[in-house]
Structure 1
Amino acid sequence: MKIIRTWSKEILLLSMALVFLSPIYIIFVNSFKSRQELYENTLAFPREFSLQFYEAAMARMDFFNAFLNSMYVTVVSVVFIIILSSMMAWMLARSGNWISTVIFMTMIATMLIPFQTIMMPLMQLVTGITRETGIPMYNSLSGLIFMNIGFNAALSVFLYHGFVKSIPVSLEEAATIDGASKFGVFWRIIFPILTPITATVAILNVILIWNDFLLPSLTLIDKSLRTIPLSVFYFFGEFTIEWNMAMAGLTLTIIPVVIFYMIAQKYIIKGIGEGAVK
């Protein structure tokens, strides 16, 4: 009976895994097909595995330029999010007064507000700043990075805050007695201990920022500034959709994130688990 229950669980888990992986299979398989072959049978293997549609998609997307834009926006945004969010979470966790509590709860409350409700006022604000002050907030990668930091800071502070509370205050007191400044206490004592949750914050923000379409579509106008999700979007025309090219572009989009996740995946559960349990 125990063997039957074990096998039943294994079969159930395998079935669920196949269901969740089926979109990846469909995207990958159809990226090698012509449009005619794709419409004949979406689930079948292609007659031949040729890279011609990948080459055509890369040329149409201006892939390397879009890849560099996405890489630049993602890396710079994530670095600033990690630095600023970790420092803020540490100060909020250690202050212990009602002002810190109000600030922290306000940041958590902002996570409940859908971006769609503020995107039009936001665009009016950034275009006004760019027009009146000359600060490149609109149609620039730096403006997009600035907004990415703001929109993703709340989740990062929330994750760091729970982890910081698990670190004994005695470590900081001992470092202070030894002559370390507040800045030195954070960077020499606290930040190295935050490595597991830092990896978690990095993974989550890389996935969010790399795959983000809505904010770049509102912010970036010039073709030379397009990120990868924006470049893939232009395979979806008003009257026709080049599904095979779009599938090839989507495959190229998810490969860097999958590689990054495979390298750092062991930290994500460890970081969230340690921050929650302690």
Structure 2
Amino acid sequence: MQSKKRNLRILEVLGILLALLWLFPFYLMVTNAFKTNKEIFANVMSIPSDPTIDNFIQAFIDLNFMNSLFNSLLITIISILLIVIFSSMAGYALARNKSRLSGVILLLFVAAMLIPFQSVMITLVSLFGQFDFLDRFGLIFMYLGFGCSLAIFLYHGAMTGISKSLDESATIDGANKFQIFYHIIFPLLKPISVTVAILNMIWIWNDFLLPSLVLSDAEATIPLSMFQFFGQYTRQWHLALAGLTIAIIPVIVFYFIAQKQIVKGVAEGAVK
């Protein structure tokens, strides 16, 4: 008993140290967001001696924040909805059809996760440019393609824990494939759906490279607008850190709202 208690205390201490390590960048971001640029360069680790909210006001104006927020929300929400809908349907179809072809298709989706975006970005942007599709909706279509591989893999794994007898019972009651999926199977996939949504939200919300190749200034997302604080010769760290602090608030709020479902989804995936 003594050894178990000692081991638990050691794990608790390690957990606290690890949490502090992960929280340290957030401490630097938030504390320096309330400083002037001069004070940041004087001592980046210190607590603000004279906290000011002027950085947040100026960053809000310079970022054209409401327009950037609208673009980020539009792209992120529609992309996530499409990824969840189409990936869950594909995962369901591949899991229920036990054939060699479905196994090959799943393997192709898994293999696609190994392809780095940088290796296809020039060809992809050139192709979409030929069809005049370099806008927000073209970007959403790209995110759908890049995000589906991992999502299908997760949904396929989740489907292995759902008995096929549910499908058979619903079929006997007269339900078709779409009714079975949307009314019976899809609600059971809620934890995985939330996990997929969180993973893709963090990626899409913070993505800079792909939007920089596709979007115009009028359609700029928050990460693209943030780039104006980093010039060739100057770095407006006080405004950039204030803007970053504002930008992460929607992600944090969404995470805390869906926290229970995320933990449940990860736990179910670990058991399976």
Task: Indicate the residue corresponding to 1:210 in structure 2.
Answer: 205
Q: What is the CA–CA distance in structure 1 between the aligned matches of 2:138 and 2:244, rounded to whole Å?
A: 25
- 1:189-228 matches, within 5 Å, as 189-221=184-216, 223-228=217-222
* % identity of equivalent residues: 47
Q: What is the CA–CA distance in structure 1 between the aligned matches of 2:165 and 2:19, rounded to whole Å?
A: 45
Secondary structure of 2:181 counterpart = helix
For 1:178-200, what per-residue CA distance to the aligned partner results, in whole angstroms no more than 9, with x for missing partners? Answer: 00011111111111111111111
Task: Indicate the residue corresponding to 2:150 in structure 1.
Answer: 155
Match of 1:176 among 148, 158, 171: 171
Kindly indicate whether residue 100 of structure 2 is the aligned counterpart of residue 105 of structure 1.
Answer: no
Secondary structure of 2:258 counterpart = helix
Does the Cα contact within 8 Å between 1:163 and 1:276 map onto a contact in 2? no
For 1:125-172, what per-residue CA distance to the aligned partner results, in whole angstroms no more than 9, with x for missing partners? Answer: 111221xxxxxx21x111111111111000110110001111100010
- 1:49-88 matches, within 5 Å, as 49-88=51-90
Task: Indicate the residue corresponding to 1:31 in structure 2.
Answer: 33
Kindly indicate whether residue 250 of structure 2 is the aligned counterpart of residue 256 of structure 1.
Answer: yes
Does the Cα contact within 8 Å between 1:26 and 1:43 map onto a contact in 2? yes
TM-score (norm 1): 0.94
- Counterpart residue type for residue 141 of structure 2: F
Q: What is the CA–CA distance in structure 2 between the aligned matches of 1:92 and 1:9, rounded to whole Å?
A: 41
Deviation at 1:206, TM superposition (A): 1.0
Deviation at 1:267, TM superposition (A): 1.5
Deviation at 1:28, TM superposition (A): 0.5
Deviation at 1:13, TM superposition (A): 2.1
Secondary structure of 1:234 counterpart = helix
For 1:106-141, what per-residue CA distance to the aligned partner results, in whole angstroms no more than 9, with x for missing partners? Answer: 0100000111111111111111221xxxxxx21x11
Deviation at 1:272, TM superposition (A): 2.9
For 1:56-106, what per-residue CA distance to the aligned partner results, in whole angstroms no more than 9, with x for missing partners? Answer: 001000001000100000111111111100001100111111111111100
Deviation at 1:5, TM superposition (A): 4.3
Q: What is the CA–CA distance in structure 1 between the aligned matches of 2:76 and 2:6, rounded to whole Å?
A: 47
Task: Indicate the residue corresponding to 1:231 in structure 2.
Answer: 225
Task: Indicate the residue corresponding to 1:128 in structure 2.
Answer: 130
Q: What is the CA–CA distance in structure 2 between the aligned matches of 1:15 and 1:272, rounded to whole Å?
A: 23
Q: What is the CA–CA distance in structure 1 between the aligned matches of 2:266 and 2:15, rounded to whole Å?
A: 23
Q: What is the CA–CA distance in structure 2 between the aligned matches of 1:82 and 1:91, rounded to whole Å?
A: 14
Q: What is the CA–CA distance in structure 2 between the aligned matches of 1:6 and 1:194, rounded to whole Å?
A: 34
Deviation at 1:7, TM superposition (A): 3.6
- Counterpart residue type for residue 68 of structure 2: A
**Cα distance change of structure 1 residues 46 and 261 upon mapping to structure 2, 3 Å threshold:** same
**Cα distance change of structure 1 residues 259 and 170 upon mapping to structure 2, 3 Å threshold:** same
Task: Indicate the residue corresponding to 1:134 in structure 2.
Answer: none
Task: Indicate the residue corresponding to 1:8 in structure 2.
Answer: 10
Task: Indicate the residue corresponding to 2:117 in structure 1.
Answer: 115
Does the Cα contact within 8 Å between 1:162 and 1:276 map onto a contact in 2? no
Does the Cα contact within 8 Å between 1:141 and 1:225 map onto a contact in 2? yes
- Counterpart residue type for residue 239 of structure 2: M
TM-score (norm 2): 0.96
Q: What is the CA–CA distance in structure 1 between the aligned matches of 2:238 and 2:26, rounded to whole Å?
A: 14
Deviation at 1:270, TM superposition (A): 1.6
